[in-house]
C-alpha cells in the first residue's frame, strides 16, 4: 500500500506530464492509477484530469468526423400502379374456351382464370415468341434469303424460293398473315440454323419464367412436346407489347410488303377480327389447328388500363374474348393508391 505522503508528488508528476505531451496523458494516467490501487484515489485523479483548466487530450478531442460515415443517396420511389377492384355482383361470362385468363398488365392482377396452368397446344400464338427471338437477334433492315421456307405447311404469306426479304417485312408476314413460311425463313437464317432458333425460344421462355411452356417448332404446327398455358401466354404477350416494333405490327390491320427488288408483292391481312371493332384493341395474335382449336391472345387499352386476355382451345375465340374484355372493364374499378 502506498503512503498518503508519496501520493502527492506522484500526482504533481502526472499533471506535469499531461501538460508536456498530450498523447502520453492516457498512458500515464493508467499507469499511476494501477500503482495507486485505491478506488478513491483513482476517481480523484480522473476528476482532476477531466476538470483541469487549460488544454488536454479530452477537452480538445473532436467528435465530429472529417468525412461523413454515411453517404447521402438520392432515391426516387416509383409511382404506385393503379390496381383493379372487382364488383362481385357482376358475374363473369360463360365461355367456350377450355382455358382462359384475364390479367391487368400494370399490376399483374388476375381478373379471371379458367384452367390457367393447363398445358395445351398453342397453335400460331407460338409466333409471339418467334417474333421476340427475331427482334433480339436481327436488325429490321437485315436482308434474308428464302431457302426452303416455301416448303412450310399450313398458313403462309406465299414466299418464293430465292426471294430476298427484309426482316421487318417478314415480321409483318409472321404476325399479320400468320405465315408459317415467314417463321421458317427467320429460323433457317439464324446463326446455328433452325434448331438453334428453337433452342433460343426455349431459353427465352425460361428467362421470362414461362414454367408451362415448351417449344418444338417456330410456327405452332402440331407436334408432340410443343405446348403452353394461358397464363404463360398472357405473361409473354405483356413482355412483347413493351417492344414498340412488335406493338406497332400487331396493331396493323393490313399491310403490303415486297421483296428487296420490288418485284414480288405480298398483301397481308391481320387475322385478328377484333381490331377496329372492340374499343381499345391493340393486337396480339391468333392461332388455330384442328386439335388446338381456336386460340387468341389480345391486348386492350382503355383509359390507361391495359388488359391481356389469353384463351386456348375455344369454340368461339372472338366471342369469348369480347365477352371477357367487356365484363372485365364493367366489373372492375381501377384504384390508384397514390391518390
pLDDT at 116 (0 to 100): 98
Concatenate the DSSP letters of all residues of 270-310 into one string.
-S-TTTTTSTTEEEEEEEEETTTEEEEEEEEEETTEEEEEE
pLDDT for the residue numbered 46: 59
How far from 52 is each of 49, 63, 95, CA to CA, in Å? 5, 20, 91
CA pair distance 285, 282, nearest whole angstrom: 10
The β-bridge partners of 114 are 100
Q: What is the pLDDT of residue 336?
A: 85
Note the pLDDT tens digit of each residue in 140-167: 999 999 998 888 889 999 999 999 999 9
pLDDT of the residue at 337: 79
Q: For the segment 15-32, what is each residue's pLDDT rounded down to a tens digit?
A: 555 556 555 555 555 565
Percentage with pLDDT > 90 across the chain: 72
| 83 has a pLDDT exceeding 60 | yes
Residue 93 has pLDDT above 90, yes or no: yes
Average pLDDT over residues 66-90: 75
pLDDT for res 24 = 55
- Is 285 annotated in a binding site? The answer is yes
- pTM of the predicted model as reported, rounded to 2 decimal places: 0.77
Burial 36-55 (b: 16+ CB within 10 A, else e): beeeebeeebeeebeeeeee
pLDDT of residue 2: 45
pLDDT in tens, 211-229: 999 999 999 999 999 999 9
What number of other Cβ atoms are within 10 A of residue 85's Cβ?
12
Q: What is the pLDDT of residue 226?
A: 98
C-alpha cell belonging to residue 321: 374474348
pLDDT above 70: percentage of residues in the chain: 76
pLDDT band at 35 (very low <50, low <70, confident <90, very high): low
Please state the rounded mean pLDDT for residues 299-321: 97
- Residue 33 contacts residue 42 (beta carbons within 8 Å): yes
Examine the pLDDT at 241 and tell me if it is beyond 50. yes
pLDDT reading at 10 higher than 90:
no
| pLDDT higher than 90, residue 325 | yes
What pLDDT, on the 0 to 100 scale, is given for residue 6?
A: 52
pLDDT band at 3 (very low <50, low <70, confident <90, very high): very low
Q: Which residues are catalytic?
A: 124, 127, 178
Per-residue pLDDT tens digits for 110-131: 999 999 999 999 999 999 999 9
Domains of the chain: 4-60 (no CATH), 83-335 (3.40.710.10)
Round to whole Å and give the CA distance between 102 and 274: 16
d(CA 147, CA 139): 19
Find the mean pLDDT for residues 250-276: 97
Amino acid at each position: 500500500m502506498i503512503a498518503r505522503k508519496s501520493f502527492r508528488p506522484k500526482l504533481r508528476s502526472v499533471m506535469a506530464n499531461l501538460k508536456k505531451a498530450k498523447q502520453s496523458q492516457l498512458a500515464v494516467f493508467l499507469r499511476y492509477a494501477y500503482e495507486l490501487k485505491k478506488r478513491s484515489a483513482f476517481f480523484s485523479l480522473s476528476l482532476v484530469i477531466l476538470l483541469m483548466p487549460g488544454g488536454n487530450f479530452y477537452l480538445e478531442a473532436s467528435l465530429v468526423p472529417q468525412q461523413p460515415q454515411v453517404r447521402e443517396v438520392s432515391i426516387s420511389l416509383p409511382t404506385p400502379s393503379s390496381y383493379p377492384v372487382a364488383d362481385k355482383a357482376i358475374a363473369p361470362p360463360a365461355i367456350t374456351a377450355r382455358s382462359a385468363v384475364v390479367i391487368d398488365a400494370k399490376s399483374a392482377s388476375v381478373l379471371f382464370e379458367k384452367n390457367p396452368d393447363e398445358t395445351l397446344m398453342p397453335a400460331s400464338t407460338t409466333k409471339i415468341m418467334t417474333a421476340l427471338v427475331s427482334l433480339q437477334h436481327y436488325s429490321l433492315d437485315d436482308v434474308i434469303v428464302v431457302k426452303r421456307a416455301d416448303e412450310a405447311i399450313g398458313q403462309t404469306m406465299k414466299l418464293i424460293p430465292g426471294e430476298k426479304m427484309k426482316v421487318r417485312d417478314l415480321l409483318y408476314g409472321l404476325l399479320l398473315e400468320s405465315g408459317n413460311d415467314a417463321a421458317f425463313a427467320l429460323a433457317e437464317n439464324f446463326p446455328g440454323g433452325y434448331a438453334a432458333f428453337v433452342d433460343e425460344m426455349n431459353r427465352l421462355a425460361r428467362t421470362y419464367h414461362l414454367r408451362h411452356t415448351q417449344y418444338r417448332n417456330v410456327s405452332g404446327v402440331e407436334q408432340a412436346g410443343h405446348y403452353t398455358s394461358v397464363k404463360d401466354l398472357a405473361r409473354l404477350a405483356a413482355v412483347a407489347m413493351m417492344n414498340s416494333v412488335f406493338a406497332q405490327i400487331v396493331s396493323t390491320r393490313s399491310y403490303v410488303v415486297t421483296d428487296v427488288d420490288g418485284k414480288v408483292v405480298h398483301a397481308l391481312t391481320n387475322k385478328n377480327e377484333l381490331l377496329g371493332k372492340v374499343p381499345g384493341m391493340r393486337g396480339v395474335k391468333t392461332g388455330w389447328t384442328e386439335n388446338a382449336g381456336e386460340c387468341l391472345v389480345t391486348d386492350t387499352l382503355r383509359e390507361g388500363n391495359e388488359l391481356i386476355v389469353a384463351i386456348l382451345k375455344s369454340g368461339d375465340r372472338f366471342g369469348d374474348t369480347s365477352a371477357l374484355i367487356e365484363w372485365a372493364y364493367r366489373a372492375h374499378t381501377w384504384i390508384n393508391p397514390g391518390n
